[in-house]
Structure 1
Amino acid sequence: MKTVSLFSGAGGLDIGAIKAGANIIWANDIMKDACATYKKNIGDHIVCGDLNEHLEELSELQNVDLVIGGPPCQGFSVAGKMNPEDPRSQMIWAYQEVVSIVNPRAFILENVKALGALSKWEGIRNQLLDGFRKLGYSTSYIVLNATDFDVPQVRERVFVVGFKGDINMTPNLHEMMQPYKRKAKTVRDTLSFLDKAGFGNNISTCNAKITLAATPVLRKSPYAGMLFNGLGRPLKIDGYSATLPASMGGNKTPIVDERELYNKEQPWIVRYHESITADPTKAKFELAPQFLRRLTVEEAAAIQTFPNGYQFQGSQCSKYTQIGNAVPCNLGYAVCQMVADVLNKKVKITPTIGKQTTLKL
């Protein structure tokens, strides 16, 4: 599949697309370190800079099969200011402009769950879908959880997918994605190939201190709430990670219990949570036990399902940002493989009966 990649970042979605058969002929991102990472691992066909300044050269591309990309999501995210006028939010329209210029056989647009789920964004969502239909695409969207597609991370994202053809037909992405589901491994199994933090193939340790909150926010689960200062939450080693944020690198970096990970001991956070739930006065501002530490760059990359040995460029803080911003490779692969199978006529588009609604898997 002759493919154009937009907002490529460190290449998470591109890795998945390549595995599904994509031949990426042109890619773009505005972050210099991400472009350097992309060049190091994927190829030098990435153009670094503002997409809007490179639209003219895209008009020279012929016979493109697929456009992929995840426009900046901060303006739509519940973790941000949710401002539709945020310049980053406007980049969904730049993506749509590229589709109009390149005229591919299909496209895949990824963004935060909120864009596909919140009534606040219904107007923008409908405008986006209608815009693609006016360009000649049967278009639909779906919210997917990465854990359903071999990613050990509870990370929900919306995918808008379009196929050149009958604009009055809405693809039933819920049914079309079912064959591509694959249950994820646990965090423990995912990290099993790595050495202990600070050694061998797991060298990039994060030194941000971990302190207990004097007034913790308690929830039923010890892995929710706020038991530590900062937004870094403990990893559920024998389960799935919460969403890895692009703000990792400081006190927002998730927390690993080394005794649990390496010695299979009972999680310290479970005992602590039980203790302060029974008696909140036991919660004090103090350093956490030394066997609690932050997730490393290599571990974060593994949880995002980047290939073993993927070489991120830039400062350590930049590496965390690139990883947090990425589409998990395995999730990207599942969506790209479904689209590839349609383009290669291995499967047919299943139509949706009735009105389009927010869909989940």
Structure 2
Amino acid sequence: MKAVSLFSGAGGMDVGAIRAGFEVVAASEIDAHACSTYRRNHPGTVLIEGDIDKRMSEIMSFKGVDLVIGGPPCQGFSVAGKMDPSDPRSKLVFSFCSVVEKLLPRAFVMENVKALGKLAKFEDVRREIIRRMRNAGYQTTVHILNAKDFGVPQSRERVFFIGTRACSTVLETNDFEKFKQEAISLRHAIAHLGRAGSLNNSPITKAKITLAKKPVLRKSPYAGMLFNGQGRPLNPDAWSSTLPASMGGNRTPIIDEEHLYGGAQSWVEEHHRKILSGAIQSEYKEAPSRLRRLTIREAAVLQSFPESYCFEGPQSRIFSQIGNAVPCKLAESVLKAVKHTLSNTATDLRIAKQSA
């Protein structure tokens, strides 16, 4: 089965599609650094670079594919942004719809942030997507899925709009159950890479880590705000919290190197306990050197990219590519469910023709 990928970024969703058994024949992306990354890792795919609305004629040459996939920019819908439906980037979900209306694949999968699928303020957007797709002949279901339920070592909730042609089986939530698998811990996922700066785990993220003078405390030492900036510490013995696209500076998550590699007790947990008990007062100062930021390679692993995957561009833009990606294993599970549905529909149609 053949697929066209839109808003492809570094290619996380495409990796999932290939693992699920689809051939990605064409991809579309506007960011130059992401395009460089995509070309390096997917040399057999036709890459259409630039504004999707201005390159529509080239995309139309792939009419007749089985599947259209993509994750339009989500800044207008994200709780990490201004959540503005009038943000020009919010309109790109309808550019996705336009491609589907023209290519008329057997199915489509559009991914975005959870807020688009859940919040009342975006209900009109959801309704318009479903209305347009219904008029184009698709039955559309909306699913909010968490990457950690599909083997990704990261808690990352996303919405998937999945449409199938009217003659196909509608994909329901329980269709994903067979593809679920328990997430491994962060320690299990990245410890084999070695310490930050080592041969398989470089380069180092150099953004300083400083303690907050007035920390925001929560029950868990891995929640709240113990440090300045928005980078939160990660617990090696649990899955990661959601990786943001704004990584690279002081929003990059924090790891206790000695807790992860040296067999030491967690400095973060002990510091949190002392503040809560009143044993110490938090003050603004640089954190111990054993605390450091997540590396590019670790972030890629936590998004379930293959370890052989190569990223192009400055460090900040690579972090952005990784943070914006659909976790490969999550995409793989979703697209396996879609492929299973399409295969069953084709089988049913053959049986019906033979019986006629």
Common fold by TM > 0.5: yes
Describe the shift of the 1:280–1:318 C-alpha distance in structure 2 as closer, same or farther (beyond 3 A).
farther
Distance (Å, rounded) in 2 between the aligned partners of 1:304 and 1:152? 8
SS of corresponding position for 1:9? coil
Q: Which amino acid aligns with 2:344?
A: K
Query: What are the within-5 Å matches in structure 2 for residues 142-291 of structure 1?
Result: 142-165=143-166, 171=170, 173-279=172-278, 282-291=281-290
SS of corresponding position for 1:33? helix
Query: What are the within-5 Å matches in structure 2 for residues 1-361 of structure 1?
Result: 1-43=1-43, 44-165=45-166, 171=170, 173-279=172-278, 282-345=281-344
Distance (Å, rounded) in 2 between the aligned partners of 1:306 and 1:138? 31
Distance (Å, rounded) in 1 between the aligned partners of 2:346 and 2:228? 50
Q: Which amino acid aligns with 1:39?
A: R
Aligned to 2:353: none
**1:58/1:101 contact within 8 Å kept:** no
Moved more, 58-67 or 30-39: 58-67
Superposed displacement of residue 266, structure 1? 2.0
Q: Which amino acid aligns with 2:127?
A: N
**2:20/2:332 contact within 8 Å kept:** yes
Superposed displacement of residue 4, structure 1? 0.4
Q: Percent identity?
A: 49
**2:63/2:102 contact within 8 Å kept:** no
Superposed displacement of residue 281, structure 1? 5.9
Superposed displacement of residue 158, structure 1? 0.2
Distance (Å, rounded) in 2 between the aligned partners of 1:95 and 1:146? 23
**2:191/2:260 contact within 8 Å kept:** no
Moved more, 340-349 or 79-88: 340-349
Distance (Å, rounded) in 2 between the aligned partners of 1:172 and 1:219? 39
**1:108/1:160 contact within 8 Å kept:** yes
SS of corresponding position for 2:184? coil
Distance (Å, rounded) in 2 between the aligned partners of 1:45 and 1:324? 24
Superposed displacement of residue 133, structure 1? 1.0
The C-alpha deviation readout for 1:322-341, integer Å capped at 9, x for no partner, is 00000000000000111111
Q: Which amino acid aligns with 1:148?
A: D
Distance (Å, rounded) in 2 between the aligned partners of 1:216 and 1:271? 15
Moved more, 294-303 or 276-285: 276-285
Superposed displacement of residue 172, structure 1? 5.1
The structure richer in helix per residue is 2
Superposed displacement of residue 47, structure 1? 1.5
Superposed displacement of residue 126, structure 1? 1.3
Aligned to 2:354: none
SS of corresponding position for 2:255? strand
Distance (Å, rounded) in 2 between the aligned partners of 1:138 and 1:150? 28
Distance (Å, rounded) in 2 between the aligned partners of 1:348 and 1:282? 67
Superposed displacement of residue 188, structure 1? 0.5
Q: Which amino acid aligns with 1:14?
A: D
Unaligned runs of 5+ in 2: 349-356
The C-alpha deviation readout for 1:47-74, integer Å capped at 9, x for no partner, is 1111001111222223210000000000
Describe the shift of the 1:121–1:156 C-alpha distance in structure 2 as closer, same or farther (beyond 3 A).
same
Distance (Å, rounded) in 2 between the aligned partners of 1:192 and 1:226? 25
Distance (Å, rounded) in 2 between the aligned partners of 1:333 and 1:159? 13
SS of corresponding position for 1:154? coil
Count of residues paired in the alignment = 347
